Amino acid sequence: MTKATPLLLIEGLTKAYPGVVANKDVSFSIGAGKVHALLGENGAGKSTLVKTIYGLVRPDAGSMRLHGEPYAPADPNAARAAGVAMVFQHFSLFDALDVAENIALGMQDPPPRSTLAAKIREVSQTYGLPLDPGRTVGDLSAGERQRVEIIRCLLQAPKLLIMDEPTSVLTPQEVEILFRTLRKLASEGTAILYISHKLEEIRGLCDSATVLRLGEVVDTCTPSEVSARDLAEMMVGQTLITPTRVGGTDGAVVLEVTGLSLPASTNFGTSLKEIGFQVRAGEVLGIGGVAGNGQDELLAVLSGETVTDADTVRMNSQPIGAMGPVERRRLGVLAAPEERLGHAAAPDLSLTENAMLTGAQRRGLTRNGFLNWTKARAFATEIIEAFDVRTPGPGHVARSLSGGNLQKFVIGREILQDPQVLVVNQPTWGVDASAAAAIRQALLDLATKGAAIIVISQDLDELMEISDTFAALNEGRLSSPRPAAGLSVEDIGLMLGGAHDLEVGHGAA
Amino acid sequence: MDLSVINPALLIASLMVASTPILLAALGELICEKSGVLNLGVEGMMITGAICGFAVAVETGSPLLGFLGAALGGAVLALLFAVLTQVLLANQVASGLALTLFGLGISALIGQGYRGVKPPPTGRIDLGPLSDIPVLGRVLFSHDWVVYFGLALVVAIWAFLKFSRAGLVLRAVGESAEAAHALGYKVVRIRIAAILFGGACSGLGGAYLSLIRVPQWTDGMTAGAGWIALAIVVFGSWRPGRVLVGAYLFGGLTVLQLNLQAAQLPVPVEVLSMSPFVLTIVVLVIISARRRGASGAAPAMLGRIFHASS
């Protein structure tokens, strides 16, 4: 590929919104058949930039060229006609419609249904993305839903494919399938613009990278030639501090689970089988495994959303298995579930109200049954300051925060309640590198203060970084916990029930 | 009590007539709700259509122009709703209720000079030999054109939603406005078009009351028909076929209870009068509760405000 005529050339793009400059004089280029990464923290302006390329946003200044021709799409239809396709992070599928209907909606001039179904089958086989055109999208898994979007794009034979954080909702196996597809596409000459927080993925997949910070291009590099740490520091603009602590597993046993078996509550749930473990004061227990293997169910048992026999869960030898979340919270067992909007936080309530919801008891935010809003607001403000939550103030609704910021708020809210036991599921899911480091550090600091912490995560790198002991959850069974220090990738693979089930650490840095 | 005064053939024939206004209004509301907009102003749009159609028909002497005027009147009132909810992003429930009250008021104002006036008659269409079939010909094939128009509209809307691309886009907008917007569809324009269609259909339904069924103008003559149309859409699970069943059920019960009143059934008249409303809703609740498939569920965006935040 010659560098002379890049497929897409962007020069001096600027877009300002009231109060923020989302993109400021952004320039870069992508060659045909290349995979180009766009890196940056939450709010660095990546989404605005790709929306501009896809015709959803009109730039204030600057120009784009596609195949050397001036390119200024008025709307997504124009962008698609020019050969630009985009796979969205979310918001682009219709749950009640079936796969073929969803795909037809994203096409300029869809063929009749029977032809389209045949075409979908053909493309899905060519690229190794199995998909049944007749299924209702609402019933599909996250990985399958993404396949719908990708196939929708592929059917139009795009010249440029934009992918906005495609792997944040995928299991490691699904990520591997996706990468094979992307490499095949690139080898056929399609340029790919790839946005992700996951630096190891970018190092393994991308040919070049442009780093954005606060709307400006701050650096460009070849990802395979620099370390993930370097990439993270380019994004953040400062030296990253690896979370550190003095580990300890010699405290008293705080939480003990014995013989936990629980049938699945729904058709889509996982039943838990004979789970048993102990967590000591000051210990961080990391529970790894692919999502959907009982993580949500285990968190529900620990937080009290699902009650069991009293003796199944014990805290300081006291049976608490039959207690609900409120009683457990009073004792100091707190939890932060994975789903931020709707489970960990009420989307349309303000941050103050959300702080009140779990903090009322332990922070004494009520008095004689009346809510003390002054105190709740102070508590919310404290969380916002301590965890660097970026929001105009505690009066704003949870929904208005970006995923990473809300995650900081949710985790911070529990940590500041001074728990004795804290259970978190996917604490840094969708959170950028510096915020993730801050959350991990806060968890470690809490452990140093003597709390027992259980971290459930799909991110094995994260678990290796902060855990004292490690256990794997697979099809509702938990392996016996082992000290994390000195565990090799092979050990972990075996604990997860066979290394082929889970690809460990992409690119194995 | 004398049940022999009830003639089954006549009952079915008048059932089709009694159901048509509700059927038309419900079909319009169905399209509107499929686009994700809940317009509670059906009653107001119906009565506005009733007086607009009546006035135009009386002034021009042409029932056909009257129906056109009714559709236009209903659509103009719906446009008010569209501007409020789609442009000014007002709450749909409150705007819809206000629209009903406004429609009742403005129709009474327009209708001041038309009380006691007789509209030009709408003839039955001659279906030739079909109308001559004994019993069946009288029951099914000797109605005015609007009855058949309503039935054709059921089929047309069903096919539109199931087979056409525009129908797919309409459903998509009602299912996820954000996703449709991201794909480049004009959510607000599509919704305004759906609202206007709903208004026009409601207007036709209202005019059918004032020009054919009654036929004369009285204030508040729709008497809750718009509300039952709304209920039929919901309990008909947003499907044209079930909406037809619901509308005919309600129409049938209305005609039956009128016949029973005439037969002097020893039941209070008030109980008979309310029975169609109660029974229709009970039956439709049972139908809609039986199966809860993805296709039977409400459009996900129903009643939610969409604001493009690009």
Quick check: A96 and B294 CB within 8 A?
yes
pLDDT of residue A502: 38
Q: How confident is the model at residue A142 (pLDDT cuts 50, 70, 90)?
A: confident
Q: How confident is the model at residue A241 (pLDDT cuts 50, 70, 90)?
A: low
Check: CB of residue B34 under 8 Å from CB of residue B161.
yes
Higher-confidence residue of A249 and A295: namely A295
Any idea which residue has 């509107």 for tokens? B32
Four-point Cα dihedral B61, B62, B67, B73, nearest 10:
-50
> Is the predicted pLDDT of residue B132 greater than 90, yes or no?
no
pLDDT of residue B310: 43
Check: CB of residue B161 under 8 Å from CB of residue B169.
no
For residue B280, the Cα-to-chain-centroid distance in whole angstroms is 15
Q: CA nearest A59 in B: which residue?
A: B310
pLDDT of residue A409: 92
* Chain B contact residues (CB < 8 Å to A): 165, 168-169, 171-172, 175-176, 178-180, 182-185, 294-295, 297, 299-300, 310
- A100/chain B closest Cα distance in angstroms: 11
- Please compute the mean of the pLDDT values over residues A430-437 and round it to a whole number: 78
**Nearest 5°: CA angle at B197, between B191 and B198?**
90
Any idea which residue has 């009250």 for tokens? B101
Task: Give B140-179 as a 3 state SS string.
Answer: HCCCEHHHHHHHHHHHHHHHHHHHCHHHHHHHHHHHCHHH
Neighboring chain B residues of A114 at a CB cutoff of 8 Å: none
- 3-state SS, residue A477: strand
Percent with pLDDT over 70 in chain A: 92
pLDDT of residue A285: 92
- Please compute the mean of the pLDDT values over residues B4-11 and round it to a whole number: 79
pLDDT of residue B110: 94
Q: How confident is the model at residue A123 (pLDDT cuts 50, 70, 90)?
A: confident
Neighboring chain A residues of B179 at a CB cutoff of 8 Å: 91-94
Q: Which domains does chain B have, with CATH numbers?
A: 3-117+139-297 (1.10.3470)
Any idea which residue has 């370390």 for tokens? A227
- Tokens (6 digits) for B164: 């056409």
- CA A469 to CA A249: how far, in whole Å? 8
Q: How confident is the model at residue A2 (pLDDT cuts 50, 70, 90)?
A: very low
pLDDT digits (tens, 9 = 90+) for B54-91: 999 999 999 999 999 999 999 999 999 999 999 999 99
pLDDT digits (tens, 9 = 90+) for B172-209: 999 989 889 888 889 999 999 999 999 999 999 999 99
Q: CA nearest B170 in A: which residue?
A: A105
- CA A196 to CA A175: how far, in whole Å? 12
Question: Given the DSSP bridges, would you call strands A284-288 and A452-456 parallel, antiparallel or unpaired?
Answer: parallel
Residue type, A241: I
- Tokens (6 digits) for A80: 């698609």
Any idea which residue has 């009683």 for tokens? A327
Neighboring chain B residues of A76 at a CB cutoff of 8 Å: 182-184
> Is the predicted pLDDT of residue A505 greater than 50, yes or no?
no
pLDDT digits (tens, 9 = 90+) for A345-379: 998 899 999 999 988 888 888 888 899 999 999 99
Give the count of alpha carbons within 13 A of B94, CB side only.
Answer: 6
- CA B158 to CA B241: how far, in whole Å? 8
Neighboring chain B residues of A93 at a CB cutoff of 8 Å: 176, 179
* Chain A contact residues (CB < 8 Å to B): 51, 55-57, 75-77, 80, 88, 91-97, 101, 104-106, 110, 136, 138
- Please compute the mean of the pLDDT values over residues B142-150 and round it to a whole number: 91
> Is the predicted pLDDT of residue A239 greater than 80, yes or no?
no
Q: CA nearest B301 in A: which residue?
A: A94
Neighboring chain B residues of A104 at a CB cutoff of 8 Å: 165, 168
Q: How confident is the model at residue A500 (pLDDT cuts 50, 70, 90)?
A: very low
| ipTM reported for the complex surpasses 0.90 | no
Question: Given the DSSP bridges, would you call strands A160-164 and A84-87 parallel, antiparallel or unpaired?
Answer: parallel
Partners of residue A192 on adjacent β-strands: A35, A161
- Please compute the mean of the pLDDT values over residues A227-240 and round it to a whole number: 77
Quick check: B179 and A93 CB within 8 A?
yes
Quick check: B183 and A76 CB within 8 A?
yes
Percent with pLDDT over 90 in chain A: 20
pLDDT digits (tens, 9 = 90+) for B205-249: 999 999 998 889 999 999 889 999 998 998 888 999 999 999 998
Per the prediction, chain A carries an average pLDDT of 84
Higher-confidence residue of B309 and B287: namely B287
pTM: 0.72
Per the prediction, chain B carries an average pLDDT of 89
Q: Please choose, from the candidates B206, B204, B200, B199, the residue with its C-alpha nearest in 3D space to the C-alpha of residue B221.
A: B206
* Window from A256-270, A367-381, B253-267 with minimum mean pLDDT: A256-270
Q: How confident is the model at residue A383 (pLDDT cuts 50, 70, 90)?
A: very high
Q: Please choose, from the candidates A162, A182, A11, A146, the residue with its C-alpha nearest in 3D space to the C-alpha of residue A79.
A: A162
A97 closest CB neighbour out of B165, B171, B183: B171
pLDDT of residue A504: 39
- A355/chain B closest Cα distance in angstroms: 27
- CA B90 to CA A280: how far, in whole Å? 55
- A96/chain B closest Cα distance in angstroms: 6
B184 closest CB neighbour out of A75, A95, A101: A75
Q: How confident is the model at residue B258 (pLDDT cuts 50, 70, 90)?
A: confident
pLDDT of residue A350: 92
Helices (H), B83-135: 92-110, 129-132
For residue B41, the Cα-to-chain-centroid distance in whole angstroms is 11
Higher-confidence residue of B42 and A241: namely B42
Check: CB of residue A289 under 8 Å from CB of residue A473.
yes
**Interface size between A and B, measured as CB pairs under 8 A:** 57
Q: How confident is the model at residue A150 (pLDDT cuts 50, 70, 90)?
A: confident
pLDDT digits (tens, 9 = 90+) for A299-313: 999 999 888 888 899
Neighboring chain A residues of B172 at a CB cutoff of 8 Å: 94, 97, 101, 105
Higher-confidence residue of A227 and A285: namely A285
Four-point Cα dihedral B107, B109, B110, B116, nearest 10:
90
Quick check: A56 and B175 CB within 8 A?
no
B178 closest CB neighbour out of A75, A91, A96: A91
Phi-psi region of B238 (alpha: psi -120 to 50; beta: other; left: phi over 0): left
Q: Which domains does chain A have, with CATH numbers?
A: 8-236 (3.40.50.300), 253-507 (3.40.50.300)
pLDDT of residue B188: 94
pLDDT of residue A506: 38
Higher-confidence residue of A144 and A42: namely A144
pLDDT of residue A139: 79
Partners of residue A220 on adjacent β-strands: A210
Quick check: A77 and B184 CB within 8 A?
yes
- Please compute the mean of the pLDDT values over residues A196-216 and round it to a whole number: 85
Q: CA nearest A52 in B: which residue?
A: B310
Four-point Cα dihedral A199, A204, A209, A215, nearest 10:
-30
Cβ-count burial A206-224 (b if 16+ within 10 Å, e if not): bbbbbbbbbbbbebebebe
B300 closest CB neighbour out of A75, A88, A96: A96
Q: Which residue of A94, A114, A135, A162 to mutate against B (max B Cβ within 10 Å)?
A: A94
> Is the predicted pLDDT of residue A222 greater than 70, yes or no?
yes
> Is the predicted pLDDT of residue A147 greater than 90, yes or no?
no
Q: CA nearest A93 in B: which residue?
A: B179
- B274/chain A closest Cα distance in angstroms: 36
> Is the predicted pLDDT of residue B134 greater than 90, yes or no?
no
Check: CB of residue A54 under 8 Å from CB of residue A73.
yes
pLDDT of residue A267: 61
- CA B110 to CA B48: how far, in whole Å? 9
A96 closest CB neighbour out of B165, B175, B185: B175
Q: Please choose, from the candidates A435, A437, A429, the residue with its C-alpha nearest in 3D space to the C-alpha of residue A165.
A: A429
- Please compute the mean of the pLDDT values over residues A323-328 and round it to a whole number: 90
Neighboring chain A residues of B295 at a CB cutoff of 8 Å: 96
Greatest distance between any 2 Cα atoms in chain B: 69
Q: How confident is the model at residue A479 (pLDDT cuts 50, 70, 90)?
A: confident
Q: CA nearest B172 in A: which residue?
A: A94
A136 closest CB neighbour out of B178, B179, B294: B294
- CA B1 to CA B272: how far, in whole Å? 15
Own/partner pairs, A358-362, CB within 8 angstroms, 24+ separation: A358/A329, A358/A334, A358/A413, A358/A414, A358/A417, A359/A413, A359/A416, A359/A417, A361/A326, A361/A329, A361/A330, A362/A329, A362/A330, A362/A332, A362/A334, A362/A417, A362/A418
- CA B189 to CA A492: how far, in whole Å? 55
Residue type, B271: V
pLDDT of residue B131: 77
* Window from A223-227, A501-505, B292-296 with minimum mean pLDDT: A501-505
Quick check: A97 and B175 CB within 8 A?
yes
- 3-state SS, residue A455: strand
pLDDT of residue B226: 93
A97 closest CB neighbour out of B165, B172, B178: B172
pLDDT of residue B269: 87
Q: Please choose, from the candidates A145, A54, A62, A53, the residue with its C-alpha nearest in 3D space to the C-alpha of residue A97.
A: A145
Quick check: A55 and B184 CB within 8 A?
yes
pLDDT digits (tens, 9 = 90+) for B26-53: 999 999 999 999 999 999 999 999 999 9
pLDDT of residue A360: 87
Q: CA nearest B295 in A: which residue?
A: A96
Distances (CA, A) of A268 to A139, A271, A285: 10, 10, 27
> Is the predicted pLDDT of residue A81 greater than 70, yes or no?
yes
- CA A356 to CA A413: how far, in whole Å? 10
Q: How confident is the model at residue B25 (pLDDT cuts 50, 70, 90)?
A: very high
Question: Given the DSSP bridges, would you call strands A272-280 and A84-87 parallel, antiparallel or unpaired?
Answer: unpaired
